[in-house]
Amino acid sequence: KKKIAIMTSGGDSPGMNGVVRACVRMAIHLGCDAYCIYEGYEGLVRGGDLIRKMEWQDVRGWLSEGGTLIGTARCMAFYERSGRLAAARNLVAQGIDAVIICGGDGSLTGADRFRAEWPSLLKELEENGEFTAAQLEPYRHLNIVGLVGSIDNDLSGTDATIGCYSALARICQCIDLIEATAYSHSRAFVVEVMGRHCGWLALMAGVATGADFIFIPERPRPDNWREEMCSVVEHHRKLGKRKTIVILAEGAIDRQGNRISPEMVKDLLADPKGLGLDTRITTLGHVQRGGTAVAYDRMLATLQGVEAVKAVLEATPDTPTWVITINENKIVRKPLMEAVQATKKVAQAIKRQDWDEAMALRDTEFSE
Ligand code: F6P
């Protein structure tokens, strides 16, 4: 019987439990044994009871649970060859040579390297006398398939990462709450949202809440952004708005690459010589990441989980490590490293200050 293991890695995201549920059940449906690797790469390295066989009923109710119930961790040991050797030992000992990983681009890149290194890891296990060549024979090829779980929506090549729409919905709910109090006091709020180096959450939250002004890393404002923001806010106030919402991506920078902090924006809005607005800062933080998945993320997790199981069973030594994406509403398999390379190009474009290229690589339409 083929044994397929599923793990979650990197920062958790809403929908990860839906992924695990779909993979476990699809694997069982296709006559395979399903395993979960608990605590991300930590579980792969430590093995033992962190790699557990799962039954159909073990994942009952998981669609509506937030976070990841099988845990996740940032694991330093996996960066070392000895850690990856232990991981290979644990997989072979359990008879597993097919792994589905749901995580961000860093976690998925690690998985691709592990797969490439697999033959040399097996060789070392054989040379150490831990397994015989005959014992290793059925596990000569490791098949890995990636699923992108992240609230940041920062992987190029997919329209949406699993979790981003849940985080966006949470941000919008929070801004609705803030708006009520902002209106009451006629105040301004600087709302800082997550996203690491990606501005998707800030940009879409701005559109969805009708924010007065936004800052994102991929398209820093021109050098006169201070005057620009103040004149936009002043104009909105003159139109009769009693509340001002400025959304700031946590990775927001100016055209010189310097971070724009919430305090800088607040001081500007509050400057008595300028707008003089009574201003507060709200950093939304991890409420954006926790909590249950919206319907879209549950659907994405389920459809992509099913596809990941099919892909890992169809993979051969000649196929690339696949990542499952969604493009124009279709679930697609793509070479993982192509998507990772395209993502790296965004960072390079930002460094070169080629903002149009950065936005194009993010597949995001944007006009000033
Ligand atoms: O990648 C997801 C994310 O939530 C980012 O938006 C954020 O920058 C980061 O993780 C926070 O990481 P941590 O939970 O380790 O503080």
The pLDDT value recorded for residue 75 is 87
Query: pLDDT tens digits, residue range 163-211?
Result: 999 999 999 999 999 999 999 999 999 999 999 999 999 999 999 999 9
Residue 89 CA to ligand 1 center (angstroms) comes to: 31
The pLDDT value recorded for residue 359 is 84
Catalytic residue among 12, 97, 112, 152: 152
Distance CA 83, CA 337 (A): 22
Query: pLDDT tens digits, residue range 277-286?
Result: 999 999 999 9
Under a CB-based contact definition with an 8 Å cutoff, are residues 8 and 100 in contact? no
Both structure tokens of 267:
């001081």
Under a CB-based contact definition with an 8 Å cutoff, are residues 321 and 115 in contact? yes
Residue 11 CA to ligand 1 center (angstroms) comes to: 6
Query: pLDDT tens digits, residue range 119-130?
Result: 999 999 999 999
Distance CA 343, CA 18 (A): 25
The pLDDT value recorded for residue 251 is 96
Query: pLDDT tens digits, residue range 296-353?
Result: 999 999 999 999 999 999 999 999 999 999 999 999 999 999 998 988 998 899 889 8
367 pLDDT more than 80: no
Share of the chain above pLDDT 90, in %: 89
Residue 202 CA to ligand 1 center (angstroms) comes to: 14
Query: pLDDT tens digits, residue range 82-107?
Result: 999 999 999 999 999 999 999 998 89
The pLDDT value recorded for residue 366 is 52
* Greater pLDDT, 76 or 276: 276
Residue 196 CA to ligand 1 center (angstroms) comes to: 7
Average pLDDT of every residue of the chain? 95
Q: If you average pLDDT over residues 359-365, what whole number do you get? A: 73
Pairing of strands 322-327, 3-8: unpaired
Helix and strand numbers, DSSP H then E, in the chain? 12, 11
Query: Ligand 1 pocket check: which of 12, 102, 148, 152 to mutate, most ligand atoms within 8 Å of Cβ?
Result: 152
The pLDDT value recorded for residue 217 is 95
Is 152 a catalytic site residue? yes
331 phi/psi in degrees, rounded to 5: -85, 125
Of 62-76, 253-267, 349-363, the poorest mean pLDDT is in: 349-363
Q: Can you say which residues are annotated as belonging to the binding site?
A: 11, 74-75, 104-107, 150-152, 187, 194-196, 250, 280, 286-289
Query: pLDDT tens digits, residue range 141-150?
Result: 999 999 999 9
Query: pLDDT tens digits, residue range 41-81?
Result: 999 999 999 999 999 999 999 999 999 999 999 888 999 99
254 alpha carbon, distance to own chain's centre: 24
The pLDDT value recorded for residue 365 is 55
Of 18-22, 30-34, 126-130, 341-345, the poorest mean pLDDT is in: 341-345
Atom of ligand 1 nearest to the CA of 195: 6
229 pLDDT more than 70: yes
Q: Give 261's pLDDT tier (boundaries 50, 70, 90).
A: very high
Query: Ligand 1 pocket check: which of 105, 150, 196, 200 to mutate, most ligand atoms within 8 Å of Cβ?
Result: 196
Residue 68 CA to ligand 1 center (angstroms) comes to: 15
DSSP 207-271: HHHT-SEEE-SSSPPPTTHHHHHHHHHHHHHHTT---EEEEEETT-B-TTSPBPPHHHHHHHHH-
The pLDDT value recorded for residue 32 is 98
The pLDDT value recorded for residue 271 is 98
The pLDDT value recorded for residue 362 is 79
Residue with CA closest to ligand 1 atom 7: 196
Q: Can you say which residues are annotated as belonging to the binding site for Mg(2+)?
A: 105
Residue 124 CA to ligand 1 center (angstroms) comes to: 36
What residues does ligand 1 touch, defined as CB less than 6 Å away? Answer: 11, 104, 150-152, 194-196, 250, 289
